[in-house]
Amino acid sequence: MIVVLTGAPGAGKGTQADLIAEKLGYKKISTGDALRRQIQIGSDIGKQAQSIMAEGRLVPDSVLLGILKSELDAAGSKPVLLDGYPRNLAQAKALQDLVGTGLIKAAVHLDVDYQSLANRITGRRTCVQCGASYHVANSPARVEGVCDKCGGSLIQRPDDDAEKVKTRLQIYENDTRPILDFYRDLGLYHRVDGNSPAPKVFAELSGLLQSLGT
């Protein structure tokens, strides 16, 4: 059983996915986390992805689908939450082909206004070692520049600066937003207001998932 969690960059998908995994027992699959692991170890696919992400572009579908296949196989029988995948119509259709009819139970859209998205992203800081995410205003680390979890250094990712954010949001509008209609047509689309504080968003999300029997 699979739930797709979608939304623009900065909508809070990672935060909510972590909460759902921790409190509701889902297996969280984030292609972004998997890609960052490959970048950290310096693999060929990691170097390719790093160059693309530094320009504010999305990683090719073929790379993401290969990662996704491995992650789904490893999940076994646990319910799965896809964090930020699919990101375009081709990926959405490829996912349907990969898992078959009926396995995807819902596509949940975290909807946030664009000014809030820009503010969230430019203030975000990421641990270079474990990938943990912080925000300089909303959820700062206890010690500036140091990860609470592992002690690693916190950085602003290259694709989180103001100019790259504009590019990423435009890519989202052109490429990712059309999947909302795709899931509407399948009767799987659900909207959650992502402008609220994270605990309120999680309460709405968990209620929705429970009502769907997931």
Task: Output the CA torsion sign for 26, 28, 29, 34.
Answer: negative
CA 39 to each of CA 86, 96, 131, 170: distance values in angstroms, whole numbers, following the listed order:
21, 28, 11, 25
- What are 151's two structure tokens? 């002690």
With tokens 């689309």, the residue in question is 189
Whether the ω angle into residue 86 lies within 30 degrees of 0, i.e. cis, is yes
124: annotated active-site residue: yes
Q: How many CA atoms lie within 13 A of 164 on its CB side?
A: 17
120: annotated active-site residue: no
* Catalytic pick among 13, 28, 36, 125: 13
* Catalytic pick among 27, 57, 105, 157: 157
CA 168 to each of CA 1, 121, 158, 160: distance values in angstroms, whole numbers, following the listed order:
30, 10, 12, 9
- What are 68's two structure tokens? 């996704």
149: annotated active-site residue: no
* Catalytic pick among 28, 36, 120, 124: 124
168: annotated active-site residue: yes
Helix (H/G/I), strand (E/B), else coil: 38:
helix
13: annotated active-site residue: yes
Task: Output the CA torsion sign for 42, 91, 16, 134.
Answer: positive
* Catalytic pick among 87, 120, 125, 164: 87
Query: Residues 57, 171: contact at Cβ < 8 Å?
Result: yes
User: Which residues are marked as active site?
Assistant: 13, 87, 124, 157, 168
